[in-house]
Amino acid sequence: MPVISFANPKGGAGKTTSALLLAGELAAKGARVAIIDADPERWISQWAKLPGKPANLDIFADVTEDTIVDHIETAAAKAQFVIVDLEGTASLMVANAIGMSDLVLIPTQGASMDAKGAAKTIKLIRNQERMARRSIPHSILLTRTSAAIASRALRNVREQLDKAGIDVLSTSIVERAAFRDLFDFGGLLADLSSDQVSNIEKARENARAFAGEVIAKLKAGGVTAKVA
């Protein structure tokens, strides 16, 4: 089953939010999804304790560099999709997860510090490719973008990525109140009320487009990616 890892050693790049959005969209379509919560802050594990976690979404926590391979293998044997939310460092745990991934997504805000973190992640992926003697598909995921206009810094980062020939997902994760509210109130985007959250439909459209592009990316790489 596809293993999708979210990695960037720069903290605050949007890894956890992006991972939860993808997991939520896949689970909402009926797929069995497992999240490996390897972030020391355990935000997804805390989210899972709130009301509304779907029964077809499992969380694996208490992950270490010694156990992450076992956790991924166990999850892959049960779930249709395995999503790994990695810690914000270039550690052995991160390297091991990348080596087992069918797709690595690198959440990156439109700032040079995030871009430098992304560059470190790509270097780590290249090293794992050499060790495994296989290609590890990977893409930049632009996060916390403005719905209205692209900033000068974001345009600069995008130009640098394009010049370097680095794949960037067409869908970016827009800064939305609904995405933050998931971690306060639990559940999925479908559970949030338009009476309490602004632009909820726009947030849902964004998440659907993101999940759809990830599925297409997996299929283009020859990975079976079926939802129920």
Q: Is residue 227 part of a domain?
A: no
Identify whether the C-beta of residue 53 lies closer than 8 Å to the C-beta of residue 215. no
Q: Is residue 57 part of a domain?
A: yes
Q: Name, in order, each residue with C-beta under 8 angstroms of 214's C-beta and a sequence gap of 6 or more.
A: 4, 22, 103, 105, 169
The tally of domains found in the chain comes to 1
Write the pLDDT tens digit of every residue in 93-123.
Answer: 999 999 999 999 999 887 777 777 788 899 9
CATH of the domain at 9: 3.40.50.300
Q: Is residue 162 part of a domain?
A: yes
| Domain carrying residue 70 | 3-220
Percent of the chain with pLDDT strictly greater than 90: 68
Give the rounded distance of the alpha carbon of 202 from its chain centre.
Answer: 19
Q: Is residue 58 part of a domain?
A: yes
Q: Which two tokens stand for residue 6?
A: 């979210």
Identify whether the C-beta of residue 100 lies closer than 8 Å to the C-beta of residue 132. no
Q: Name, in order, each residue with C-beta under 8 angstroms of 208's C-beta and a sequence gap of 6 or more.
A: 25
**Mean pLDDT score, 59-88:** 94
C-alpha triplet 37, 17, 190: angle, nearest 5°: 105
Identify whether the C-beta of residue 204 lies closer than 8 Å to the C-beta of residue 218. no
pLDDT at 150 over 70: no
Q: Is residue 228 part of a domain?
A: no
Q: Is residue 203 part of a domain?
A: yes
Q: Is residue 226 part of a domain?
A: no
Write the pLDDT tens digit of every residue in 190-218.
Answer: 999 888 888 999 999 999 999 999 999 99
Q: Is residue 50 part of a domain?
A: yes
- What's the CA gap between 105 and 81, in Å, rounded? 14
Helix (H) or strand (E) run with residue 123 in it: helix 112-132
What does the pLDDT read at residue 91? 86
